[in-house]
Amino acid sequence: MADFVVIAPALILLLASGVVLFVAISGPGTLRPVVLGALVIAGVFALAQGAGGQNAEAFGGAVRVDAFSVFFAVLIVAATIAVILGGSEWIESRAQRGEVYGLMLASAGAMLLLTQSNDLIMIFVALETTSIAQFILAGIARDARSSEAGLKYLLTGSVSAAVLLYGFAFLFGLSGSTSLQGIAAYVAAAPEGGRLALLFAFALVAAGFGFKMAIVPFHAWAPDVYQGAPTVVTSFLSVASKAAGFAIVLRVFYVGLGGGDSYIANDWAIMFGVLAALSMTFGNLAALMQTDVKRLLGYSSIAQAGNIAVGLAAVAAGSTNGASGVLFFLGTYAATNLGAFVCVMAVSQRIGSDQIRDYAGLARRSPWLAGILTLCLLSLTGIPPTAGFLAKIYIFNSAIQASGASEFTSNLGAQMVGAPPFVANLVDGVVERWLVLVVVVAVLNTAISAFYYLRWARTMILDEPPETSALRVPAGVQGVVAVAAFGVVLFGLAPTPLITAAQHAAAALH
């Protein structure tokens, strides 16, 4: 019984999913209060687990509840509540509302279990449970675009699952254990001769998880799925699913592969640094050419995943603030992206379009939505005093600190035959401080992102509206975007509570 208490938040949501589906099949009934009640109870239970300050394991160590899992449980539950409240107008209008609610609860419950997972088998089961629910959600509108999105998501997700499972099989074959602690013990004592096999294993694992994080080159599904899936589903994927993906990557690589203390740390630090630079650059350049707001936000999510991956590289390079930087960024990103997507949901349903040009003059038709959407776009850009600005400062600073503390050395300059000494020293210095170069790329990409984010804001504020009638939105939607905007401003002006929570959660990984 004690084991089930440990996974109680996830279990509550999974059981509630079954109840909701049963009620929906049985006949007409009120579902939203049941859904929101289950989410609130799960969130309160997770907070109660965190308040005790004790780490607990269940099912032979396959599941672990600690400050890290509690942080993400609260984040995922809060994001799911916001998505349901913000998208209730669309959900309640669908004949499949029971299926939408049930699948979202099942996906969220599996995400909670994923963030608690401490064993390769449990990780894979939880990951596939949440993924299957999301595949169905992407295609649940049953129109041509939604069906295409669901099919693409299913096919790419299946391939990524196979790659991830192959990497897990390699790790198990090398270490003889499926627990992250057992793998960590093998990595700590592994001979140099086993380096290549270990590198191959973690490359496969990174590729499998890269799909959930939507980082280049595992990103191809994101723009199409974001555009084709219902906006309610897109907002859920952009926040909750991405947070769960980065959470399990942190746990696997930090706990299972020894963080910045293992002998292969420099290898996966460089890998995530390269993937971060590629994701930021490709995502922002592709977003420049978009005219569809959902597709633009899809490419934006790829670029933002690159920003977060800078923190993963910093973790591997030995940064003491890298993990907390990732958690702080995810917290601020949740508030920002939820605010943006709920605004898009409300506006697009009323103007009947997802084209940027049709947002012209929104500030005159709905100053409230236009103002909050502009605030969220400023935060995604990283302009002070928004939360996005501090999130980027935090994560970039952790990378710079890691660059100075890294034990990575280079003799590339010494191998440059005939080169003047100052050139050789310069080359070696640049290579040794490679994380600084990644941060420089990130800063340049921030400037690029400002162009398309602010172009959208300019369209809303300065362009003439096609009509002058006011846009009226439900009070619930207005409340959700107000809370999101409050979070964007609060974490930008007074970030200490979130930073403290992020640091406390990150410390549980040690």
Which one-letter DSSP state was computed for residue 262? S
Rounded to whole angstroms, what are the CA distances from 138 to 98, 229, 273, 369, 462? 15, 5, 31, 26, 34
Q: Which token pair is 340?
A: 């943006």
| DSSP states of 141-192 | T-SHHHHHHHHHHHHHHHHHHHHHHHHHHHHHHHHS--BHHHHHHHHHH--G
The answer to whether the beta carbons of residues 253 and 261 sit under 8 Å apart is: no
| DSSP states of 374-404 | HHHHHHHHT-TTSHHHHHHHHHHHHHHHHHH
Q: What are phi and psi for residue 94, nearest 5 degrees?
A: -95, 145
What torsion, rounded to 10 degrees, do the Cα atoms 276, 279, 283, 284 define? 40
Burial of 179 (0-12, 13-18, 19+ CB in 10 A): buried
Amino acid identity, residue 305? A
Handedness of CA 119, 315, 203, 279 (dihedral sign): positive
Q: Which token pair is 432?
A: 């040794």
Residue from 284, 283, 280, 259 nearest 269 by CA: 259
Show the CA angle centred on residue 118, arms to residues 117 and 119, nearest 5°: 100
pTM of this structure: 0.91
Neighbours of 491 (CB within 10 A): 25
Tell me the C-alpha distance between 373 and 366, whole Å.
11
Neighbours of 470 (CB within 10 A): 9
Q: Which token pair is 93?
A: 């209008």
List the beta bridge partners of residue 179: 119
Pairing of strands 63-65, 56-58: antiparallel
Cis before residue 217, ω within 30 degrees of 0?
yes
pLDDT tens-place values along the chain, 510 residues long: 777 888 889 999 999 999 998 888 876 667 888 899 999 999 999 888 877 666 788 888 888 888 899 999 999 999 999 999 988 888 888 778 888 999 999 999 999 999 999 999 999 999 999 999 999 999 888 888 888 888 899 998 899 999 999 999 999 988 888 898 888 888 877 777 777 888 888 889 989 998 888 898 888 888 889 988 888 999 998 898 889 988 998 888 888 776 555 667 777 788 888 899 999 999 999 999 999 999 999 999 999 999 999 988 888 777 778 888 899 999 999 999 999 999 999 888 888 888 989 888 888 888 889 999 999 999 999 998 999 999 999 998 888 887 654 444 444 444 444 445 544 444 444 445 678 888 899 999 999 999 999 999 999 998 888 777 778 888 888 889 999 999 999 999 999 999 999 999 988 887
Instruction: Assign 468 to helix, strand or coil.
Output: coil
